[in-house]
Amino acid sequence: MLEKHWIHELTRPAFVEWLESEKSPVVIIGLGSIEQHGPHLPLGTDSMTAWEHVHEVAKRSNSVCVLPCFPGYSPHHMGFPGTITFSEGTLLAVLMDTVGSLARHGVKHFLIMNVHGGNTNIVNLAAQLAKREFKVMVAAPSGPSDTELGKLHADKQKRHWDVHSGPTETGTALHLFPELVEMERLDGWKVTLKLDPKLMEFLDPDRKDFEMVSQVFRACVEPDTDDFTSSGVWGKNDPREADPGEAKARFEEKVNFLVEFIKVWKTIPLPPAFGE
């Protein structure tokens, strides 16, 4: 069993010993962003959230974890100072080089935990390309969504568009790195979302046509955050309603889900296409 799980903290012999002794060794790649998160959350919220998650999953599954970069793909937040964005090509190259390097040393299982929505399409493309180019398995699991907390989280996203800097992310930050949250900057805060009233009506999962209108909503949202909110907070619910206790429970659910994913994954014999 490893005593350290961050790859940058391991010696070369320790990494080799783990690679040779662990059945179906898994490398967990964390990915987030450095971007504006409203007036109250740190710019590195996503990456620090990924950092905490992947390290905890690695500890509970005897895996090795790595955060190959702190920035992600965030051009839509560049209207706010402090944001750093990689181009899509740069982020894809970072992921491919990370997987390719470790694949060369014999790793066959890669789990990517992405905490920034702007990275999602690039992560999915990297997984597809890496499987073919390096003959490795790459997973980017999501969930759990069928628990009470999972359903509550999904409802907040659908009903309030609580996807960036709102109560959900604020609660997570207050749980994981409260010393970096500046809630006082929200004094007197009001919703700053500027969308057509017709679009706002589509944020109603109780509608019979919600599946369709929710996709119309996404198609009509302007490309840059500063196009539709002056504070940088998405959504129409109040970040001050954040519940760090709920976030703690959700953190445990997510970690346990990924640990179980790895446990089941390791029981599957290596498919022939991923062999030497």
* Segment 154-195, tens digit of pLDDT: 999 999 999 999 999 999 999 999 999 999 999 999 999 999
Question: 92 in a domain, yes or no?
Answer: yes
Token pair 């500046």 is found at: 182
Domain total of the chain: 1
Which strands make up the sheet holding 109-114, listed edge to edge?
A: 64-66, 26-31, 109-114, 137-139
Alpha helices in the chain (DSSP H): 12-21, 45-61, 88-104, 120-134, 148-160, 167-176, 197-201, 210-220, 225-228, 244-265
Residue 152 resides in a domain? yes
Is residue 275 very low, low, confident or very high in pLDDT (cuts 50, 70, 90)?
A: confident
Domain-embedded: residue 90:
yes
Question: Is 77 contained in some domain?
Answer: yes
> Is residue 111 situated within a structural domain?
yes
Domain that residue 48 falls in = 7-274
What percentage of the chain has pLDDT greater than the value 70?
100
CATH number of the structural domain spanning residue 73? 3.40.50.10310
| pTM (2 d.p.) | 0.97
Is the residue at 108 inside a domain? yes
Copy the structure tokens of residue 271. Answer: 């498919």
Closest CA to 75 of 239, 227, 255: 227
3-state secondary structure of 2: coil
Cβ 49 vs Cβ 39: under 8 Å: no
Domain annotation covers residue 1 = no
Domain annotation covers residue 2: no
| Exposure class string for 65-91: b at 16+ Cβ within 10 A, else e | bbbebbbbbbbbbbebeebbbbeeeeb
